[in-house]
Amino acid sequence: MYLGRRTRRLAGVAAVAAVAIVAAACSSSSSSAPPAAGKALKGGTATVAFLTGGTPNWIFPFVPIAYYSVYNSSQFQDLMYRPLYMFGNNGTSTTVNYPISPANAPVYSNGGKTVTINMKGWKWSNGETVNAADVAFWLNMMKAEKANYAGYSPGTLPDNLVSYSIPSPNTIVLNLSKAYASYWFTYNQLAEIWPMPMAWDVTSLGATAGSGGCHTSASNCKAVFNFLTAQAKATATYATSKIWTVVNGPWKLQTFSTSGNDTLVPNPKYSGPVKPHLSALQYVPYTSDTTAFTAMKSGSLDYSLLGIGLPPADLSPKPAGSALPTTNPLGSAYTLQPMYTFGITYYQLNFKNPAIGPALKQLYFRQALEYTLDQVGIAKAVLRGYAVPGTGAVPPYPPSQWIPPIQNSNGGAGPYPFSTSKATSLLTSHGWKNVGGVMTCETPSLCGAGVAKGTQAKLTLDVSNSPVSLGQTADVFKSDASKAGIDITVVLQSFNTILGKDTTTNPAWQMSGYGGWVFNGPGFAPTGEPLFQSGAGSNSGSYSSPQMDSLILAAQVTSNIAAFHNYATYAAQQLPYLFLPEPYSIQAEKSTLKGVTYNPFFAFLPEYWYFTK
């Protein structure tokens, strides 16, 4: 999932808003839902496709890295538990959405060292008020259990929080260790906070709300965290739990199954704006985007897979000057819309793997790998043109001020355009020799620190088996890498399997390809602390660079775009990950289902949806 951060004065906010404008312009009128035709109906169940192995499987918003995905956050937790601030809207906006957030806009003072947050007084479904104590509950748990939170990056929340005070029930004041740019702190720090009800501050079922004491002191949080984590693992109780049925969002869970057959219904006690029109939202699992497409052709689905959409193989090649295919493979029964994602796609590398980790730590070796990725060819052959080269750590489109010049170098191919000959040359010039078709380290003094004589350029790539385009991309990579003497073994697995095992605590994996990262939490500006900072919660490959850390930190405290570009340029050059083409999806919804749009942040807001005759 999926994010980043950076301060950008008022012009930064305007620039992000401009991203949405550009996205809309690129797709002409097709990026917005079509005008409603016919009478709006009250009620109805909308069926939404999910991929087997990529369905929601963790309900607690305090998410460990093994469960950190868009499927669990944007498409599940956010519907029931509103974070302190929502980002994105029922459209293409990539800015904070204060109207549907339980807190008013933060107020910065003391040169950026003090942040005052006023809650709106919304209600939890059990009658509790969503207040300052709920925010303190989250902050204390972050302090006590930061190592178990996927959004944690060293030096950021809770490390930079000196103290907080609650001058009134609906006001909390944060005192920070240094001055931060307000844009960065709002988009990449406050964005991490989920108010949690007192009903959750317990250490056993049936205990008095708030008796766990985590909302008053971090020293009390361990037992509460352990209890809530155990409850989150008890997936069979999600729909009936005394814990998880306390919600403050527009939806609540009616049924839940680990297979992905889940039903959400409106929360009648929701305090915020835009109450659901539908009577239910039904998640339906499919083994692949292809099987979901078959179901849509029969008319049995209302909504395609968010961010995955129709299989590229079933779309005509992208025509010049248009975001949509020339023909609709589903006919008039469905409406097509493009979905742009504010994110990056990549292969993650495990720098701690004992066999290949020492080689992966060598920049030349990573450069050789990147040179064998034919991004233009993959975009055309696998993704049918619905993609652009991914050339660094900043989303390649929609166009934005965040993109450093280096990512647009070489005619848009970035610093490492496809070239198996350059990959071969890099390896041979650093002590490798092709032995039996596989590059082998012959001169350790040239191969680099820790790379032993006889080390072979052999890597296992764990790839998500859905959508099928991920496996097809891996096959192209395998073929082209072999031309440079790099032997790639592709292993297809489910998304959830890869996410669960490719972690910092498991040195066995070598490369993983589960998709990528959308900058939609814990940060919403495309900066690097959750992915590339040493020790970051989502840095599961254990990449570490003091210079990268320094550049990331420098960009947090200034609105100067040059500071961000320094970080982004370094990331593009250093290849902490292998960057892949960034696709956009063609989404489909029933022509009678209105109010549907597709947000670059994956903001999933089905409360806007309604059926017409």
Tokens of 107: 């107020």
Q: For the segment 196-218, what is each residue's pLDDT rounded down to a tens digit?
A: 999 999 999 999 999 999 999 99
Residue 58 maps to a domain: no
Domain that holds residue 441: 343-583
Is 448 part of a structural domain of the chain? yes
How high is the pLDDT of residue 20? 27
Residue 348, CA distances (Å) to 450, 512, 513, 549 in order:
20, 5, 7, 18
For residue 537, what pLDDT band results from cuts at 50, 70 and 90?
A: confident
Banded pLDDT at 258 (limits 50, 70, 90): confident
33 or 572, greater pLDDT:
572
Of 570, 471, 526, 562, nearest in space to 51 by CA: 471
User: Quick one: pLDDT at residue 65?
Assistant: 87
Please give the pLDDT value at position 23: 29
pLDDT, position 467: 86
CB 46 within 8 Å of CB 593:
yes
**pLDDT tens across 85-106, in order?**
999 999 988 899 999 999 999 9
Question: Residues 543-597: pLDDT tens digits?
Answer: 999 999 999 999 999 878 999 999 999 999 999 999 999 999 999 999 999 999 9
Identify whether 464 is part of a domain. Answer: yes
pLDDT band at 308 (very low <50, low <70, confident <90, very high): confident
**Are the C-beta atoms of residues 371 and 420 closer than 8 Å to each other?**
yes
d(CA 118, CA 93): 24
460 is a domain residue: yes
Contacts within 8 Å (CB) and 24+ apart, 252-260:
252/80, 252/125, 253/59, 253/80, 254/280, 258/55, 258/57, 259/52, 259/55, 259/285, 260/50, 260/52, 260/55, 260/56, 260/284, 260/285
Residue 127 pLDDT > 60: yes
111, part of any domain: no
Instruction: Tell me the pLDDT tens digit for each residue of 144-172.
Output: 999 999 999 899 999 999 999 999 999 99
* Mean pLDDT (whole number) for 219-239: 98
What CATH number is given to the structural domain containing 448? Answer: 3.10.105.10
Q: What is the mean pLDDT of residues 223-235?
A: 98
415 within 8 A of 409, measured Cβ to Cβ: yes
User: What is the reported pLDDT for 448?
Assistant: 98
Between 3 and 375, the more confident residue is 375
The set of residues, in sequence order, having a beta carbon less than 8 Å from that of 550 and lying 6+ positions away, is none
Q: Output the pLDDT for position 147.
A: 94
Q: Please give the full DSSP string across 542-603, using - where no structure is assigned.
A: ----HHHHHHHHHTTS---HHHHHHHHHHHHHH-SSEE--EE-EEEEEETTEES----TT--
- Average pLDDT over every residue of 523-545: 91
In a domain, 162, yes or no: no
pLDDT tens-digit readout, 402-419: 999 999 999 999 999 999
- Position 310 pLDDT exceeds 50: yes
Confidence label for 520 from pLDDT (cuts 50, 70 and 90): confident
pLDDT, the chain, mean: 91
**What is the largest distance, in Å, between two alpha-carbon atoms of the chain?**
75
As given in the structure block, the two tokens for residue 533 are 């900072």
| Cβ atoms < 10 Å from Cβ of 613 | 8
Assigned domain for 512 exists: yes
Does a structural domain hold residue 114?
A: no
Length of the chain in terms of residues written = 613
What mean pLDDT is predicted for residues 43-67? Answer: 93
Q: Quote the percentage of the chain above a pLDDT of 70.
A: 94
pLDDT at 208: 98
C-alpha–C-alpha distance, residues 55 and 286, integer Å: 10
DSSP-assigned letter for residue 73: I
- Distance between CA atoms of residues 102 and 119, nearest Å: 6
Question: Which pLDDT score is estimated for 15?
Answer: 27
Say whether pLDDT at 31 is over 60: no
pLDDT of residue 34: 38
Q: How many domains does the chain have?
A: 1
Cα–Cα distance, 59 to 467 (Å, whole number): 24
Task: Provide the whole-model pTM.
Answer: 0.82
DSSP codes, 4-32: B----HHHHHHHHHHHHHHHHHHTGGGGS
**pLDDT number for residue 12:** 24
CB-CB contact of 135 with 82 (8 Å):
no
Q: Among 492, 491, 481, 563, which Cα is nearest to 525's?
A: 563
Complete DSSP assignment for 487-534:
EEEEEEE-HHHHHHHSSTT-TT--EEEEEEEES-SS-BS--STTTTST
Phi, psi of 233 (to 5 degrees): -80, -20
Position 455 scores a pLDDT of 98
- Check residue 360 and give its pLDDT: 98
Residue 5 pLDDT: 24
Average pLDDT rounded to a whole number, residues 382-391 = 94
What pLDDT score was predicted for residue 10? 19
